Amino acid sequence: MERALFLIFALTAVVAALNVLLRRHPLHSALALLVVLGAITGLYVLLGAYFLAMIQVVIYAGAILVLFLFVIMLLNLRAEEARLERRPLFRWLAVPFALLLGAETFYLVRTFKENPIPSGTSVGLTEAVGRELFTTYLLPFEVTSLLILIALLGAVVLARRG
Amino acid sequence: MTTIPISWYLAVAAVLFTIGTVTVFVKRNAIVMLLGIELMLNAANLTAVTFSSYFRELGGQILVFFVMVVAAAEAAVGLAIIILLFRHRETLNVDEAQLLKL
C-alpha cells in the first residue's frame, strides 16, 4: 500500500517535471509545476513531515505559483513564445546530465539498498517543528522576517520605477 | 507494514533536480528558467526531508522551511525584475538582455 502510493506520487512528479521542461508555453509549464508540487506534498506525507506538506500547499502552490501564473498572464506572451527555443547546442547538455543521473541513481541504489525509512514515525508534527523553530532556531527565524521585508521593499521599488 | 528504501526517495529527488537543471540550461524564457530553479529547490527539499525522516532529526525539516521562505522572496524579486525587463525590452529572452542597464 505504502509502496503503491510512493510509486504513484513519484511517477506523477517525474512525468509532470518532464512536462515543465517540454511544454512550449510558460503557462503550461507553470501548471505542470503545480502538479509536481502536489506530488511532492504526497511524498512529504509519506515521510511523516505533515507540517511541511501543509506549508508546501499553502506557500508553494498557493502563493509562489499563483504569482508566477499572474505574471505570465499579465505579460500576455503570445507572439514570442515560439522563437525562444532556438538553442540547439544546449540541448546536447542533456546527455552528460543523463549519464550523471544514471551513475548517481546506480550509486544510491547500491549504497542504500538495505536502509528502509521507518514508517509510522512522524517527527514532523506541527508542534515539534514549532518548538524547534522558536527555541534552537529563533535567530534565523527572526532573520527570515527581515529577509521577507527586504524582498517586499525591493519588489515595490522595482515596480514603481518603471 | 512495508517500508520504503531511502534510495527510492533520493532517486526521485535526483531525477527532479536533473530535470530542473536541464530546464535552466535549455530554455531561454526567463520565467521558465525560474520555474526550473523552483524545481531544483523542491528536489533539494525532498532530499532534506528524506534524511530528516531517516535519521529522525528535525534539522532537515527546519532547513526546508527556510528554503521555502527564501524561495518566496526570490520569486517576488525575480518576477518584479522580469516585469521590468519586459517593459523595457519587450522580450523575455535572456540572450537579448545582456546589459545590466535597462
Query: Each residue of A121-156: pLDDT tens digit?
Result: 567 688 888 888 899 999 999 999 999 999 999 988
Do A60 and B61 lie within an 8 Å CB cutoff? no
Give the minimum alpha-carbon distance from A19 to chain B in angstroms, rounded to a whole number. 10
pLDDT of residue A14: 93
Cα atoms found within 13 Å of the Cα of residue A158, Cβ hemisphere only: 20
How far CA A20 is from CA of A12, A60, A119, B34, in Å, comes to 12, 16, 31, 11
With residues binned 3-state (H G I as helix, E B as strand, rest as coil), the percentages for chain A, rounded to 5, are 80, 0, 20
Residue B1 has pLDDT above 50, yes or no: no
Under 8 Å CB-to-CB from A61, ≥6 apart: which residues?
Answer: A34, A37, A38, A41
Do A52 and B64 lie within an 8 Å CB cutoff? yes
Give pLDDT tens digits for B20-39. Answer: 988 888 888 889 999 999 99
Q: Which residues of B touch A137 (CB under 8 A)?
A: 62
Portion 29-48 of A in contact with B at CB < 8 A: 29-30, 33, 36-37, 40, 43-44, 46-48
Portion 140-159 of A in contact with B at CB < 8 A: 140, 144, 147-148, 150-152, 154-155, 158-159
Give pLDDT tens digits for A65-107. Answer: 999 999 888 887 665 555 555 566 666 777 887 888 888 878 8
CA distance A151 to A82: 32
Give the minimum alpha-carbon distance from A133 to chain B in angstroms, rounded to a whole number. 7
- The phi and psi torsions of B92 (rounded to 5 degrees) equal -115, 5
Do B32 and A29 lie within an 8 Å CB cutoff? yes
Q: What is the ipTM of this complex?
A: 0.89
Q: What is the dihedral of CA A127, B61, B38, A61, to 10 degrees?
A: -20
What mean pLDDT is predicted for residues A51-67?
91
Portion 58-77 of A in contact with B at CB < 8 A: 59-60, 63-64, 67-68, 71-72, 74-75, 77
pTM above 0.95, yes or no: no
Closest CA to A123 of B99, B43, B89, B57: B57
pLDDT of residue B83: 87
Give the minimum alpha-carbon distance from A135 to chain B in angstroms, rounded to a whole number. 12
CB contact, 8 Å: A115 with chain B? yes
B29: β partners: B93
